[in-house]
């Protein structure tokens, strides 16, 4: 069966009342255009509503991608930052709406960045900018961004990302630790919630797949050793000096 037909079937199911995760024309058209089979290893299931694992990262299920973009409200010519580029699929969806030259993506894992670049070029989105960065620090040299999508969970939006939003910008991310939800943030405040999700936590440098060691380990060991000495009832009253 032709890929275009499979994409249409996929989006039809996402628009149907049974799922109802696609409600805007822009998101529906983008999902119908992006060749998802260029981003997943198993072409036979590329257009089923399921996630795919790829070398330590996850290709999000189409229904989850739709929910994120419905929350993000990307418009034509918006400057978009994707934090957690993964294999590049969500960056491609953003490129269909905003234009490839307006989309920037970062990922903390270097080999994943290479895969994203390759996939995006094969799918026709070679103008999307993808770089290896600590996502919590964003991409300040290309800021401000009208829209920022974070594909990893955190308790609060990283301050650097909020600072890189345009004055009327919008950030969407999975928010929370145990219980997470899709949060839309404007002017530093959560303005909308779009239901529960489960995402891996936002990584910092040294935690990514393939890292030799976490660069915070030595400091953490010292701090935890100090806490072990200074715990209990003694710590409340003894003058350590």
Distance of alpha carbon 130 from alpha carbon 45, whole angstroms: 26
Tens of pLDDT, residue by residue over 79-131, are: 999 999 999 999 999 999 999 999 999 999 999 999 999 999 999 999 999 99
Q: Do 162 and 171 contact (CB within 8 A), yes or no?
A: yes
Find residue 170's DSSP bridge partners.
147
Q: What is the pLDDT of residue 236?
A: 41
| Residues 44, 88 contacting (CB under 8 angstroms) | no
pTM, to two decimals: 0.83
Q: Where are the domains of the chain?
A: 3-237
Tell me yes or no: is domain 3-237 CATH 3.60.15.10: no
Q: Please list, in sequence order, all residues whose beta carbon lies within 8 angstroms of the beta carbon of residue 137, skipping any fewer than 6 positions away.
A: 158, 160
pLDDT band at 224 (very low <50, low <70, confident <90, very high): low
Confidence class of residue 4 from pLDDT cuts 50, 70 and 90? very high
Of the candidate ranges 66-70, 206-210, 224-228, the one whose mean pLDDT is the lowest? 206-210
Which position has the higher pLDDT, 103 or 211?
Answer: 103
> What number of other Cβ atoms are within 10 A of residue 52's Cβ?
19
Structure tokens at 210: 């393939």
Per-residue pLDDT at 235 exceeds 70: no
Do the beta carbons of residue 96 and residue 141 sit within 8 Å? no
| pLDDT value at residue 55 | 76
Please state, in angstroms and rounded to a whole number, the distance separating the CA atoms of residues 69 and 76. 13
């Amino acid at each position: 069966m032709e890929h275009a037909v499979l994409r249409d079937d996929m989006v039809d199911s996402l628009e149907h009342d049974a799922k109802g995760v696609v409600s805007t024309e822009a998101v529906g058209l983008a999902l119908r255009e992006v060749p998802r089979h260029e981003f997943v290893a198993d072409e036979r299931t590329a257009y089923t509503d399921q996630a795919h694992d790829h070398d330590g990262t996850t290709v999000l299920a189409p229904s989850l991608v739709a929910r994120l973009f419905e929350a993000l409200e990307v418009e034509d010519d918006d400057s978009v930052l994707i934090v957690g580029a993964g294999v590049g699929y969500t960056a491609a969806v953003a490129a269909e709406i905003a234009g490839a030259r307006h989309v920037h993506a970062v990922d903390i894992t270097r080999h994943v960045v290479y895969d994203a670049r390759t996939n995006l070029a094969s799918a026709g989105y070679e103008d999307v900018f993808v770089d290896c960065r600590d996502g919590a620090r964003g991409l300040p040299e290309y800021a401000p961004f009208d829209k920022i999508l974070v594909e990893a969970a955190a308790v609060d939006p990283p301050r650097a990302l909020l600072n890189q939003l345009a004055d009327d910008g919008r950030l969407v991310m999975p928010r929370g630790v145990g219980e997470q939800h899709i949060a839309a943030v404007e002017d530093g405040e959560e303005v909308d919630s779009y239901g529960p999700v489960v995402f891996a936590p936002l990584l910092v440098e040294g935690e990514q797949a393939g890292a030799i060691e976490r660069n915070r380990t030595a400091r953490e060991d010292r701090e935890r050793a100090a806490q072990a000495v200074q715990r209990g009832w003694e710590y409340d009253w003894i003058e350590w000096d």
